[in-house]
Structure 1
Amino acid sequence: MRTQVAIIGAGPAGLLLSHLLAADGVESVVLETRSEEYVASRIRAGILEQSSVDLLREVGLGERLDREADPHRGIYLQWPHERHHLDFVDLVGRQVFVYGQTEVQKDLVTAAHARGQQVVYEVSDTALHDLETDRPSVTFTDQDGQEHRLEADVVVGCDGSFGPSRSAIPDGVRQSWERTYDYSWFGILADVPPSTDELIYAWHDDGFALHSMRSSTVSRFYLQVPNGTDVADWSDDRIWDALAVRLGHGLDGWSLATGPITDRSVLPMRSFVQQPMRHGRLFLAGDAAHIVPPTGAKGLNLAVADVALLAPALTALLKGDHAPADAYSDTALRRVWRCTHFSWWMTTMLHTGTDPFDRQLQLSQLRWVATSEAGAAGLAENYAGLRIGF
């Protein structure tokens, strides 16, 4: 097999990259360990930044998004007895959109089928070769047990934390930084209309809580829990009681609607950055290079920003212009570290620990953000999204 760009991973980063490359006349083949149905059903991020939405619209992927996404002007910050609205549009002239990663994936898959994109699902034993030459390749085994070699001009790893691409950068070249937090998120999906018009980020002595949503009939909730929490220890009643307490049921007459819980999971909280994001003819994008805690809603948006930079860089490289590809890692990492810091800042401001001194500092910071135009604008600028290429 032969192609110009071999893409490992058929999630949003990989399929969006293939879409952008196709628009520039560049051929690619996408390899994916999981089935198409599995990738499409993964419940992940739900917030798109203004820049991500602008890009999706520009490249012809905005029709259903414009019809079904829920634009939000801001968020609510809350602590006991107080809830404050931050209006991003008033503060920085930008907004965010509730449109789940599953919906983005559906749009990308539909577009891939429409243009005849070659995506090979359910592969195994994926390995990368000759990355320091101008003829790299990827070997893999298909679902029928047949072994293949895919030769390419460039290999792009969009295969997340556990794929082979990240580790294909040699030990003496790669550097990494990691932060593991002392808590996790217990997340649920519920068939219940949202009890809020915009997301509520709640600080509470019992732990952080978040009220999000996926549609007008489906709500998404998170609770701060200890690492190692077993979902079986949390009954439906316990979940709804904890959410009601932490989200302020009864605050100024507000009430939390409850309903059937359709999905529950525990998500460990961690930050990870690896650099460089390019080695020879291998380029990394999305979770293959960086992980952020979900508090700042940055994971999917960082992946979009990565491939928005990478696609024109690869197009130029294939035409003989090496400069954009040479600059890709440094340019992408500036945004990665900014978003990593913002995600850490939001996380440490809102998640409670055992130190009473730290709790008072958190409350002071929350009051400052909620009541200072400068503090609110800083949060709004980062949450609604910096420009791609920052």
Structure 2
Amino acid sequence: MHIVIIGGGLGGSTTAGALREQGFDGDVTLVGAEAHLPYDRPPLSKDYLSGSSTFDDGVVLHPREWYDEQRISLLLGTRATAVDPRGHRVTLNDGTTLEYDKLVLATGSTARTLSLPGADAQCVHTLRTREDSDAIRAEFGEGRRLVVIGGGWIGLEVAASARGVGTTVTVLEHEELPLLKALGPEMAQVFADLHTEHDVDLRPTVEVAEIVTEGGRATGVRLGDGSTVEADAVVIGVGAAPDLSLAETAGLDLDGGVLVDASLRSSDPDVYAVGDIAAHDHPTFGRIRVEHWNAASTHPVTAVAALLGGDAAYTDAPYFFSDQYDLGMEYLGHAPQGTYDRVATSGDVGKREFVASWLDGSGRLLAVMNVNVWEGLDGLRGYVGSQEPVPDEVVQVVAQK
């Protein structure tokens, strides 16, 4: 039996490891478009971007010897261009093909960009790969001016890393607050205050008209009101798009992602999808697609169990984390703006040492976030997504530990 995994990131590498951990003894081939060994992406906007970790020690998931020991065949620097489910065949960019019995798609996402004049100029960056992170870090330094378009997680983490080495940073955000859609106004304000306190020029409710260039290089960003923010470099951080190109060639059912059941099985019974591209059935949150590290690291265990004939279902609540300046946070659950009724906090929000709980009108816990309180999720984890209301005393006591 031959299992082919397409995607050389966390989801692909974890799937390969899970196959061996769960006793699969057949052939495993991992196809990765990048020439690097599979690596973790969160450090690209955190420790690696700031220069506090190296690529080999802080980003690469396993040394090459690990893949040899696990008898995992690596095809790196190789792009899969088409999938033929009827023939159980994958076509590669060199024209060769791989035959498979089961296929796992872990193709991840691509960085979104903007259709703006100047968006393709030199010194305009997006962040998805090691090379992207290296190029952005090269723009940092005292006296350098960086404009970040987009106040989401990537944009704010880039801003924090840049400020850490003295770069002048302006963040341009379309909404009234950064992270507004993800956290709602109550908690988004915490992050807005954090960045302004670190001398980021945070500009909400702005429209970006064009990236100004001179000699092919970015020199600033012109706003909708006609004003210009001068820059030596620009980072476009406006989110990511799931890479569904192979799923499309395979004729899989899609709806903003690869439609999979609770076991991560697609509309083709021999094809599974994990990580960013998987729009899966969740027992609490319904159909959901999550572009976070945790999905790529935990989906594979369920997918592999099902692929090998087990009765498996993915039930984990979405989880992500962020580090910005001296603020570390973890978030568990799913409560985008408009889905909750109130946010309860315990601890000290002003000192940024607290736990926030997103609750619906019945007192059920949709999501929880701990900020610099590292045991904060423990007491609430079991209530996230539960149909039972969370007791008020549980919400209030967590941050007092």
Higher helix share: 1
Q: TM-score, normalised by structure 2?
A: 0.44
Structure with more relative contact order (C-alpha pairs < 8 Å, separation 6 or more) = 1
TM-score, structure 1 as length reference: 0.45
